[in-house]
């Protein structure tokens, strides 16, 4: 009982004495898990939205356009079983160059569809007004960046063309405004027909009821403008899942079967799948690019977090050598002793993960909202945290705890007498800078002491510089990505713009936490040294300068080394993403200066927060004889 009480007391003392360290580790979990899961869930959530629209709005799998579409429909209906076709939906459509505008850029899309058929595909969502009830009534597509805004009861008169053949002036009244689930892009929806000309984009979509087509369109034009939407059977549609690989292979096989049909061959019809649909596929592709960028940053953030957590806990283990020796003499196993530190890390992780729920959802929401600026996605209810949250939290937590357990068991494996014997101070050695006599002799004692301390503890030097290098890489990468986004804003990169801003904020926060952790540990390990300086009459400014100068030198070294490392990292990112909008030519020259400067500023901020801890050091307690 006494032995168990000693174990519990020792563990409780560990938490009480190092509460600041516990909270700093928790903060690293917050920054890492919130950003990683927030970024990681974006692609998943967008694909969920696409998938929901695909099924709920019964979006087509194929659309066939060509002469003699009625014959094609009849043959496909006969071969439904062999083609895995569940439903066909006939409509008529053509794109007419917009002659009102003195440019070849825009075209109007005229569609005749069966509004009375409840089983029609590509369900239109009625946003206002009602559906057409006469030959001269139309509903129009909702306003976007390119599509013109129309009012209810507005009278429209337009000159219709089929390719370069004038059809005549057509008048109609707008009775409704709708949203087509296959036209989710807010801009640059291109004409479906390459032959209509010169990269034309749709600036109007007019929907007529199909039962009035004979009153509006002559038989020759009708025969040339037929189209057929095709919905495949459920086993294939269930594989869609936001353009999955399995769905793609099924589509290729079915397309080949359709193209082999006699009526399709003779009419030379075009068989287009959802992969040729500009809006949906561009949304899916954009989400995938964001996902690829996110994945690279996610991996990097995880590695930095694990490095810093492990470094922090390693220093804590060194400070706990005497208590570890005491528990060993009481008969506790290496595993039991190691579990104290695992529990410490676990509590820090749980606190951090719990706090990161809200910021993780916020990151995802901000980016998803940025996507809605460019795409009219179907609104669906997302969970508070997605699956990626638990994956990220699990990876960081399990990896960190595993390393902590291995390190603590290794330390506990030593004999109690070895643990109770304090490590002898490191012997100072001549550093490279001392060989430059002219420079070295001009330095004051405090700077000579600082430079010697910097290189005296090689492990601390390496860990600190590596952490700062990693932080600088992230800061540079974030600014580099922002430059590329701003340079290509006209291409509709709102989501990428917000991702860049978020990355800058979280990179800066992680950088500040890294420096704060390292400095905090440095102060904790040197309380006797700090107290000695204070007893010797050093002022607060001199004492803090003595400690912080070392941190600033290490920070500058890490920032300088981090810049070329950041350039190399982004070279990999740009090559991996392989997108014209992401390239070094868009990166401003000042970004190469800004990244290391920002890293250093965050370091200064972190040390400023720890100044009070130094000047409030208890001299009597710190100078007590070591146990």
Q: Which residues make Cβ contacts (< 8 Å) with residue 262, sequence separation at least 6?
A: 75
* pLDDT 10s digits, 480-493: 988 988 888 777 67
Distance CA 350, CA 343 (A): 10
Q: Residue 627: its pLDDT value, please? A: 46
* pLDDT 10s digits, 537-585: 778 787 787 778 888 888 888 889 989 998 998 888 888 877 788 888 8
Is the sign of the CA dihedral 496, 502, 506, 507 positive or negative?
positive
Among 117-121, 234-238, 469-473, top mean pLDDT goes to 234-238
* pLDDT 10s digits, 5-21: 777 887 888 888 888 88
Distance CA 368, CA 35 (A): 14
Give me the mean pLDDT over the 162-167 stretch: 79
- CB atoms near residue 219 (< 10 Å): 8
Q: Residue 249: its pLDDT value, please? A: 94
pTM value? 0.81
- Confidence tier at 192 by pLDDT (50, 70, 90): low
Q: Residue 625: its pLDDT value, please? A: 47
Contact 431, 452 (CB under 8 A): yes
* pLDDT 10s digits, 324-355: 888 888 888 888 888 888 999 999 999 999 99
Give me the mean pLDDT over the 457-472 stretch: 80
Instruction: Name the residue among 313, 475, 469 with its Cα closest to residue 399.
Output: 313
Only one residue has tokens 């986004």, namely: 485
622, pLDDT greater than 50: yes
| Residue 11 structure tokens | 């563990």
380, pLDDT greater than 80: no
Exposed e or buried b for every residue in 175-197, given b needs 16+ CB within 10 A?
bbbbbbbbbbbbebbbbbeeebe
Q: Residue 426: its pLDDT value, please? A: 59
Q: 66: which DSSP letter?
A: S
| Residue 297 structure tokens | 């940053």
229, pLDDT greater than 80: yes
Give me the mean pLDDT over the 305-321 stretch: 84
Alpha-carbon distances of 253 from 86, 89, 249, 256, rounded to whole Å: 16, 21, 6, 5
Ranking 19-33, 74-88, 406-420, 564-578 by mean pLDDT, the lowest is 406-420
| Residue 342 structure tokens | 């695992």
Distance CA 496, CA 485 (A): 7
Exposed e or buried b for every residue in 396-411, given b needs 16+ CB within 10 A?
bbebbbebbbebbbeb
Give me the mean pLDDT over the 276-300 stretch: 87
Alpha helices (runs of H) in 213-244, residue ranges in sequence order: 213-216, 219-224, 234-237
Mean of pLDDT over the chain: 84
- Confidence tier at 167 by pLDDT (50, 70, 90): confident
* pLDDT 10s digits, 506-529: 888 888 888 888 777 777 777 777
370: left (phi over 0), alpha (psi -120 to 50) or beta: alpha
Q: Is pLDDT larger for residue 426 or for residue 404?
A: 404
321, pLDDT greater than 70: yes
Contact 276, 65 (CB under 8 A): no
Contact 169, 159 (CB under 8 A): yes
Ranking 177-191, 258-272, 451-465, 610-624 by mean pLDDT, the lowest is 610-624
């Amino acid at each position: 009982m006494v032995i168990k009480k000693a174990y519990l007391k020792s563990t409780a003392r560990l938490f009480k004495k190092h509460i600041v360290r516990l909270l700093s580790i928790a903060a690293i979990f917050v920054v890492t898990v919130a950003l990683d899961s927030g970024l990681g869930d974006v692609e998943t959530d967008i694909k969920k939205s696409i998938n929901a629209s695909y099924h709920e709005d019964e979006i087509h799998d194929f659309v066939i356009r060509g002469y003699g579409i009625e014959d094609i429909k009849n043959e496909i209906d006969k071969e439904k079983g062999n083609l895995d076709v569940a439903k066909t939906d006939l409509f008529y459509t053509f794109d007419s160059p917009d002659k009102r505008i003195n440019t070849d850029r825009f075209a109007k899309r005229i569609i005749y569809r069966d509004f009375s058929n409840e089983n029609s595909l590509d369900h239109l969502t009625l946003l206002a007004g009602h559906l057409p009830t006469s030959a001269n009534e139309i509903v129009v597509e909702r306003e976007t960046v390119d599509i013109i805004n129309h009012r209810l009861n507005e009278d429209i008169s337009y000159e219709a063309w089929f390719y370069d053949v004038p059809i005549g002036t057509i008048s109609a009244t707008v009775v409704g405004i709708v949203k087509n689930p296959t036209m989710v892009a807010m801009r640059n929806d291109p004409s479906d027909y390459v032959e209509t000309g010169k990269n034309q984009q749709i600036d109007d979509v007019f929907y007529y009821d199909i039962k009035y087509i004979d009153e509006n369109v002559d038989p020759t034009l009708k025969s040339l403008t037929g189209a057929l939407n095709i919905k495949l059977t459920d086993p294939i549609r269930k594989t869609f899942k936001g353009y999955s690989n399995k769905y793609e292979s099924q589509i290729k096989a079915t397309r080949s079967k359709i193209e082999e049909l006699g009526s399709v061959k003779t009419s030379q019809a075009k068989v287009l799948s959802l992969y040729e649909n500009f809006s949906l596929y561009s949304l899916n592709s954009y989400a995938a690019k964001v996902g690829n960028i996110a994945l690279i940053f996610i991996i990097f953030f995880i590695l930095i977090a694990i490095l810093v957590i492990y470094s922090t806990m390693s220093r804590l283990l060194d400070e706990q050598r005497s208590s570890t020796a005491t528990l060993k003499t009481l008969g506790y196993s290496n595993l039991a002793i190691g579990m104290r530190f695992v529990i410490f890390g676990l509590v820090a992780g749980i606190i951090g993960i719990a706090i990161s729920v809200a910021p993780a959802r916020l990151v995802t929401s901000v980016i998803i909202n940025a996507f809605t600026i460019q795409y009219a996605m179907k609104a669906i209810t997302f969970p508070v945290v997605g699956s990626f949250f638990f994956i990220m939290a699990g990876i960081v937590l399990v990896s960190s705890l595993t390393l902590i357990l291995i390190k603590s068991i290794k330390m506990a494996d030593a004999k109690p007498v070895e643990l109770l014997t304090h490590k002898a101070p490191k012997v100072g050695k001549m550093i490279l800078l001392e060989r430059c006599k002219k420079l070295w002799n001009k330095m004051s004692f405090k700077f000579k002491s600082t430079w010697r301390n910097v290189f005296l503890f090689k492990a601390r030097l390496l860990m600190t510089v590596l952490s700062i290098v990693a932080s600088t890489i992230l800061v540079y990468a974030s600014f580099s990505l922002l430059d590329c986004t701003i340079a290509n804003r006209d291409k509709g990169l709102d989501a990428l713009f917000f991702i860049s801003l978020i990355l800058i904020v979280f990179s800066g926060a992680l950088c500040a936490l890294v420096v704060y952790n390292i400095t905090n540990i440095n102060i904790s390990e040197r309380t006797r040294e700090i107290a000695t300086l204070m007893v010797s009459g050093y002022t607060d400014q001199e004492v803090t300068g003595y400690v912080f100068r070392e941190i600033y030198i290490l920070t500058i070294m890490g920032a300088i080394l981090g810049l070329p490392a950041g350039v190399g990292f982004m070279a990999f990112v740009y090559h991996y993403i392989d997108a014209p909008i992401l390239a070094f030519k868009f990166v401003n020259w000042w970004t190469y200066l800004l990244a290391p400067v920002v890293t250093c500023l965050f370091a200064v901020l972190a040390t400023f927060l720890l100044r009070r801890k130094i000047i409030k050091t208890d001299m009597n307690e710190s100078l007590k004889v070591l146990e």
